[in-house]
A and B are shown apart, each in its own frame.
Chain A
Amino acid sequence: MFVPEIEVRHANKEFSDTRGRTKILEDVSFSISEHEFVCVLGPSGCGKSTLLRIIAGLEFPSSGKALFRGREILGPNPQTSAMIFQTFALLPWRTVYENIELGLQSIGIPKGKRKEVVMKYIRLMDLDDFSDAYPYELSGGMKQRVGIARALAVEPCVLLMDEPFSALDAMTADALRRDVLELWNDSQTVTNTFVMITHLIEEAVFMADRIIVLSKRPGRVIGDIPVDIPRPRHDHERDPEFFGMCDMIHRMISYNTGEAKTEK
């Protein structure tokens, strides 16, 4: 039987505060298989971030389930999935090296082995000259490289990215996007299933195999669109096909209609 890497089944999420209950996610279902690069796309406040946190085990759906290889996700597990944050979330009191070491420490890998792994990912992310630098000494792009290295170092099955490029300037973001795609293709890295949250349609079309489109709050899946533009996509960024897809998704979000079904 085929078991998907990640599966979300009829997930609902509600928050309650003084003003009553707010529905964030409504009956969200989809699955992601191994080797896939999936983008979750939606307007701001649609709960896409909450969805990613549910997959990471940082939050739990109010009803429904999130599964990893058929088993329910009951809490964060760095060997299942590691996360990259929009705001980098580096520990300011640790050097680059020590930040990358964080997840390994938590799994309980002995020091000697740790060094080997950390150095591997420092080289992979071109951070060789910065391993003793503190985060405040780095530019935003460098910080995110550390964030990526930290996530990859625990060698998770799934890499989760929460708008990883939105705090960076356009050129840095562009360079880093290509690097991330390279990592995804890289046979050296164990991690090869990538899930990314974004609100940029072009970014999603540029990177993903499949785009899951959420409506505005409460977030429902209004489209599950395979992107069959050939890779590497920067050769096709100017193709009408590329723009056509972007326009279609744009319309889908703006009108929130059933267009997705007809397109499919």
Chain B
Amino acid sequence: MKNLKATLAVLAIFLALPPLAFTYFGAWDAVLSDPQIVFLPYFVFRSLMRMLAAYFFVVVFGLVYGIAAGLYRTPRLFMLPLLDILQSIPVLGYLPPAILLFTGALPGEFGYEVASVFLIFSGMAWAVTFSILGAVRAIPNDLREASNAFGLRGWKYVRHVVLPAIFPAFITGSVLAWGGGWYFLVAAEMLSYGSSVHVLPGIGSFLGSAVFTYGNLASAFLGLTVFVAVVFAINSFIWKPLSEFAKYFNVQTQISKETEPPVFSEFGPIRHMVYFADSLQRKYGDSLDSLVDSAQRGMGRAARVFEHVPYKRRHRRHPGLVLFSIYSMFFIAAMVLLAFFVASAINSLPLKSLLLAIDAHPEVYSLPILGLYSALRIIVAYLIALSWTLVVGIAVARSKRLSGLVMPAFDIGQSTPALALFPFIVIIVISTLGGGQLSVEVACILLLLTGTQWYLFFNIVGAVKSIPGNVLEASRAFDLRGVQLYSSVILPAIIPGVLLGSVQAWGGAWNALIVSEYINYGGNVYSVPGLGSFLNQATLSANPDPWIITLAVASMSCIVLLMNYLVWRPLFNYAERFRFESV
């Protein structure tokens, strides 16, 4: 229970911050003048419900899609590129179709609510699905064969082997997903399309309107504190214990003498929940199995698809051209669908209007150069993030004392949504550098950092911690120290982790771009030329043109896909040789 106390202490200190600050600055009047402040608990509740609803669909989607694509080879050939493309579309790309589709199909407020949940879903789903897919494919061959040899197939294979085996990855993906969901909560609760903004009650919109609409810094600060406290509490009371519990499910590949038994002693409520679920599983698992068995028998031939036996197959590479054509096919389909949704909702003929739209908006020709600007900005942010996270991450992971001291601070930092940091960054930067273009650039890069650095940081810490003990022991035996130790052991050892973090960071950066390049604070707009601000302007213009939005979204996801294909994938393959061999 030590952790529980520490977490509660951190929370208490954190929640004590705003009253102290308000007293110090004499800002109580400004806070109390905000009429919405009494609704804050209700807002938190509404936001949580929204997140839970989205997460529910994410779990269903992720399990079905991830397991299907992981088990079956032929569908995977199509499902993986599709997922890549869906992931590469920035959240703002889902916004116009979501608003138009759901508000058109569903009555009143409910339509907006569903649209908002869908947007959160689009920020959450891909991390979970990719984690599950990867984990299904990473089930060790001997486990697969053993369960096969003992006759587990179809549903039984999924229930007894796949589900437990993917549990750790599922939890990791969920943590990332909730991070992504929080990140875009403000955008998802303030649905802005064209010149209209629809505000749904929630902590995100409370924060957003304090910043964008009223420019009330004090209540923004209060909102930020509450927001971060909620995120932090959920992380430490739900996800931390669950990740710890997930260690039970880790398939051990390394045979080592000093295996640390997983600890699962913290946080009563979650533990009881898990045990409860486990006892249910034990009690009714058998009846479930026989139910599915008889259902399958009833379905006859149609059930044959569930009889899938995952045999070992030699890895076969697909020729680049086939993959390329699948990718481009899905890409074009996704984009046409996106434009079609938007266009049909505002009653203009879709494909014909593409040329018209390009004619009317000559600025689309600047998209490539805008993409370049944005890419440069992201590179700068990435390099800054990489350099500090490497130094701090390694230091924190190697020292137990340091990690105990600063990890809570980083946990809080990670919980903080970038959008909420706007006003503070803007104020600090503009007050120190003046209001020129340079200061907006700096603010933009700082905001990009908030969307990238945590992926790198936590992946690096994880990678350093998972360097096998015998490797460290060997380097001690050869008396490697200082620079030599870092350059010849630690840095190469964490390269796979750094790359994984980099991929996530790049994905996050492109999503963050939208909110970083176009900063709306207290009615003033600060923007720098780039794809993100272009997309923002296109969505928020008085008369949004669906084709222009689509073109901007398309160029962004094109860049993301190309980067993945040309840079990250080869680097990943290269990094394979840095992996520790499993025994």
Listed in ascending order, the chain A residues whose CB lies under 8 Å from chain B are 15-18, 53, 56-59, 75-78, 81-83, 85-89, 91-93, 102-103, 105-108, 110-111, 134-137, 140, 150, 154, 160, 167
Q: Tell me, rounded to whole Å, the shortest Cβ–Cβ distance linking B281 to chain A.
A: 11
Interface string of B244-279 (1 = CB under 8 A from A): 000011111001000101000000000000000000
Do the beta carbons of B146 and A17 come within 8 Å of each other?
no
A-B contacts, 14 listed (Cβ < 8 Å): A58-B148, A58-B312, A78-B149, A82-B150, A83-B146, A86-B142, A87-B140, A89-B142, A89-B146, A91-B164, A106-B150, A108-B289, A108-B293, A110-B286
Interface string of B309-330 (1 = CB under 8 A from A): 1011011110000000000000
B290 within 8 A of A: yes
Q: Tell me, rounded to whole Å, the shortest Cβ–Cβ distance linking A121 to chain B.
A: 14
The answer to whether residues A85 and B145 also contact, given A105-B289, A136-B259 and a CB cut-off of 8 A, is: yes
Do the beta carbons of B164 and A93 come within 8 Å of each other?
yes
Do the beta carbons of B248 and A102 come within 8 Å of each other?
no
- In B414-461, the 8 Å CB interface with A consists of none
Leading 3 A-B pairs by shortest Cβ distance: A89-B146, A103-B150, A89-B142
Residue numbers in B under 8 Å from A105 (CB-CB)? 156, 160, 286, 289
Do the beta carbons of A76 and B317 come within 8 Å of each other?
no
Q: Tell me, rounded to whole Å, the shortest Cβ–Cβ distance linking A104 to chain B.
A: 9
Nearest residue (CB) in A for B148 is A76
Do the beta carbons of A89 and B145 come within 8 Å of each other?
yes
Residue numbers in A under 8 Å from B150 (CB-CB)? 76, 78, 82, 102-103, 106, 150, 154
Do the beta carbons of B314 and A16 come within 8 Å of each other?
yes
Interface string of B121-150 (1 = CB under 8 A from A): 000000000000000000010110111111
A16–B314 CA distance with the chains assembled, in angstroms: 8
Residue numbers in A under 8 Å from B149 (CB-CB)? 56-58, 76, 78, 81-83, 160
Residue numbers in A under 8 Å from B167 (CB-CB)? 93
Residue numbers in A under 8 Å from B147 (CB-CB)? 91, 102, 106
Nearest residue (CB) in B for A87 is B142
Residue numbers in B under 8 Å from A91 (CB-CB)? 143, 147, 160-161, 164
B560 within 8 A of A: no
Do the beta carbons of B290 and A108 come within 8 Å of each other?
yes
B505 within 8 A of A: no
Q: Tell me, rounded to whole Å, the shortest Cβ–Cβ distance linking A261 to chain B.
A: 35
Interface string of B299-313 (1 = CB under 8 A from A): 000000000010110
Residue numbers in B under 8 Å from A154 (CB-CB)? 150
Q: Tell me, rounded to whole Å, the shortest Cβ–Cβ distance linking A83 to chain B.
A: 4
Nearest residue (CB) in B for A104 is B150
Residue numbers in A under 8 Å from B146 (CB-CB)? 83, 85, 89
A53–B312 CA distance with the chains assembled, in angstroms: 11
Residue numbers in B under 8 Å from A16 (CB-CB)? 314
Interface string of B40-76 (1 = CB under 8 A from A): 0000000000000000000000000000000000000
B104 within 8 A of A: no
Picked from B151, B156, B164, the residue with its CB within 8 Å of the CB of A77 is: B151
Do the beta carbons of B142 and A85 come within 8 Å of each other?
yes
Nearest residue (CB) in A for B309 is A75
B152 within 8 A of A: yes
A87–B316 CA distance with the chains assembled, in angstroms: 25
Picked from B142, B261, B286, the residue with its CB within 8 Å of the CB of A136 is: B261
Do the beta carbons of B311 and A102 come within 8 Å of each other?
no
A32–B464 CA distance with the chains assembled, in angstroms: 52
Residue numbers in B under 8 Å from A134 (CB-CB)? 248
Nearest residue (CB) in A for B315 is A17
Residue numbers in A under 8 Å from B143 (CB-CB)? 89, 91
A88–B253 CA distance with the chains assembled, in angstroms: 11
Nearest residue (CB) in A for B285 is A105
A54–B301 CA distance with the chains assembled, in angstroms: 26
Picked from B148, B164, B261, B312, the residue with its CB within 8 Å of the CB of A137 is: B261
The answer to whether residues A18 and B317 also contact, given A78-B149, A87-B142, A106-B150 and a CB cut-off of 8 A, is: yes
Do the beta carbons of A136 and B252 come within 8 Å of each other?
yes
Do the beta carbons of B249 and A53 come within 8 Å of each other?
no
Q: Tell me, rounded to whole Å, the shortest Cβ–Cβ distance linking B96 to chain A.
A: 43
Q: Tell me, rounded to whole Å, the shortest Cβ–Cβ distance linking A134 to chain B.
A: 7
Q: Tell me, rounded to whole Å, the shortest Cβ–Cβ distance linking B164 to chain A.
A: 4
A53–B142 CA distance with the chains assembled, in angstroms: 12
Residue numbers in B under 8 Å from A92 (CB-CB)? 248-252
A83–B146 CA distance with the chains assembled, in angstroms: 7
Picked from A83, A93, A106, A110, the residue with its CB within 8 Å of the CB of B145 is: A83
Residue numbers in B under 8 Å from A93 (CB-CB)? 164-165, 167, 248-249
A91–B157 CA distance with the chains assembled, in angstroms: 12
B151, B161, B289: residue with the most chain A Cβ atoms closer than 10 Å: B151
Q: Tell me, rounded to whole Å, the shortest Cβ–Cβ distance linking A176 to chain B.
A: 16
